[in-house]
Amino acid sequence: MDLKDVKLYRITHIDNIPHVLRYGITHKNSPNASPNFVAIVNK
């Protein structure tokens, strides 16, 4: 498989979109992590 043919997708809550557009996808320990991150969970 050629890596240029691999597609990755990220599902996130709509409330996280402005932060992702500004900072990209960040790790929870990143200095740019969102303090208002909304998780998508199956409760």
1-19 per-position pLDDT tens digit: 799 999 989 899 999 999 9
Entry pTM? 0.71
**Average pLDDT estimate for 18-31:** 94
Helices (H), 1-43: 17-23
pLDDT for the residue numbered 15? 96
Task: Write down the domain spans for the chain.
Answer: 1-43
- Separation in Å, CA 28 to CA 1, 5, 23, 31: 31, 28, 13, 8
pLDDT for the residue numbered 10? 87
Q: Which residue has the higher pLDDT, 1 or 35?
A: 35
What band does 41 get if pLDDT is binned at 50, 70 and 90? confident
Other Cβ atoms less than 10 A from the Cβ of 23: the count is 13
Among 14, 20, 15, which Cα is nearest to 33's? 20
Q: Hey, what are 16's tokens?
A: 């996280």
